[in-house]
Amino acid sequence: MSVFSHPEFDHHQRIVFGDDPTSGLRAIVAIHDTRLGPALGGLRIFPYASDDEALTDVLRLSRGMTYKSALADLPLGGGKAVIIADPRRDKTPELLRAMGRLVDSLNGDYITAEDSGSSEADMRVIAETTEHVGGLGREGASGDPSPFTARGVFCAMRSAVRHGLDREDFDGLRVAIQGVGHVGAQLARQLHEAGAHLIMTDVDRDALGQLAASLDAEITAPDDIVEADVDVFAPCAMGAALSPSVVERLKARVVCGAANNQLASPEIADMLQSRGILYTPDYVANAGGVIEIAWQRRQDYRREAVMSHIAGIETTLDEIFARARRENHDPASVADTLARERFRG
Ligand code: NAD
């Protein structure tokens, strides 16, 4: 396994490998950059096929958090942690407490939070052995970040339709939503309330049917959603939703959704640009959750202040789209440049 020459290494400040035979913990914590503040990023628990696969994932995700927090105007750096384990079979309180001790050994340079395979309940167990945990919720409120993420995507879409479709409202806007889980379903409700017409899909047909009926939405098969005759395509399911063949088939003129790492490879941004499709950089659009987690760390937490910070995503995207047009670049590379300007100073 290469580390310093790893294609995703990108000058990570610190990578820590944790092994605890008693609990079975095998974990990697990656701290990409702490120049703007401590590195906050979720804990993913996944049965990676190899150590290499786990390292690649944690490095890519950790770097992404640096960019996300920088463009969300947060006093935070980027980091991420992975545990190599099957969350359904191997997740035990002992394993989580051992993870907490590993996080604690970093003295606050890394702050952990939920991610796929880990829940708010798991964070409470981890919090028994370290104080460096985010996303626990305040005063008995849920720590689920998805309502905040959905609100951020809604604000992002306002900017995207302004720049991509020259529209100021969602009345009659046709939006295709791929995946109506935690974030997608709440985004759907907000768009419906704002007057949009929705076409949605999910591999979970039961949840999909109920939601679609309550929102007068059309349903389509998972394989057909990218070809839906819509103005906006909103990927809210898994990563790498935008491959070359998907880009060929898209009818939407705007892409704006919650999913992380939507571009299957960096060249896809160029392909979208040459087809005249405006791509909303995913980590800018989906920063609502991390913004709320960051506010939970402050003494002066106020819901209105959180919502107004999340609304700032629209302004950040206005700046990115305007600069992309001025410099004739795709929005993804403009977002990366802007983020680097912020965290590298
Ligand atoms: P989720 O698991 O609750 O929802 C995902 C939904 O997508 C599920 O309903 C699933 O059945 C569906 N799905 C999976 N594969 C599909 C396919 N091929 N076609 C159609 N539907 C499919 O997850 P979530 O919390 O809603 O997150 C959605 C995305 O947003 C993920 O990529 C996540 O990484 C990203 N994200 C989430 C948050 C958050 O606050 N939850 C924050 C930032 C980014």
At 276, which CATH number? 3.40.50.720
Q: Say how many CA atoms lie within 13 Å of 302 toward its Cβ.
A: 5
* Residue 119 and residue 193 share a domain: no
Report yes or no: 251 and 230 within 8 Å, Cβ to Cβ: yes
Question: Scanning the structure block, which residue is given the tokens 């076409």?
Answer: 199
Domain count for the chain, please give it. 2
Q: Quick one: which atom of ligand 1 is closest to the CA of 257?
A: 30
Ligand 1 lined by 237 (C-beta under 6 Å): yes
Determine phi and psi for 81, rounding to 5 degrees. -135, 145
68 is catalytic: no
Inside any domain, residue 198: yes
Inside any domain, residue 131: no
Residue 5 has a CB neighbour count (10 Å cut-off) of 6
Residue 36, domain CATH: 3.40.50.10860
The pair of three-digit structure tokens given for residue 178, joined into one six-digit string = 């791929």
Inside any domain, residue 132: no
Segments forming the whole domain that contains residue 35 = 3-66+75-126
* Residue 304 and residue 251 share a domain: yes
Q: Quick one: which atom of ligand 1 is closest to the CA of 238?
A: 32
* Residue 302 and residue 155 share a domain: yes
Report yes or no: 137 and 106 within 8 Å, Cβ to Cβ: no
* Residue 240 and residue 102 share a domain: no
* Residue 197 and residue 239 share a domain: yes
Expressed in angstroms, the distance from the first to the final Cα of the chain is 32
Ligand 1 lined by 289 (C-beta under 6 Å): yes
Residues in the chain: 345
User: Which residue numbers in the chain have pLDDT < 50?
Assistant: none
Inside any domain, residue 136: no
Report the separation in Å between the CA atom of 102 and the middle of ligand 1, taken as the mean of its atom positions.
Answer: 28
- Who contacts 326 (Cβ-Cβ below 8 Å, separation ≥6)? none
66: nearest Cα among 79, 81, 82: 79
Detail the residues annotated as belonging to a binding site for NAD(+). Answer: 179-184
The pair of three-digit structure tokens given for residue 107, joined into one six-digit string = 């003295």
Measured between alpha carbons, how far is 290 from 287 in angstroms, rounded to an integer? 5
Measured between alpha carbons, how far is 213 from 233 in angstroms, rounded to an integer? 20
Inside any domain, residue 29: yes
Detail the residues annotated as belonging to a binding site. Answer: 179-184
Angle at 158 between CA 156 and CA 163, to 5 degrees: 95
Residue type, 240: A
Ligand 1 lined by 184 (C-beta under 6 Å): yes
* Residue 175 and residue 280 share a domain: yes
| Composition of the chain by helix, strand, coil, percent to 5 | 45, 15, 40
Ligand 1 lined by 258 (C-beta under 6 Å): yes
* Residue 98 and residue 48 share a domain: yes
Inside any domain, residue 196: yes
Q: Mind listing the pLDDT tens digit for each residue in 26-43?
A: 999 999 999 999 999 999
Inside any domain, residue 96: yes
Report the separation in Å between the CA atom of 202 and the middle of ligand 1, taken as the mean of its atom positions.
Answer: 10
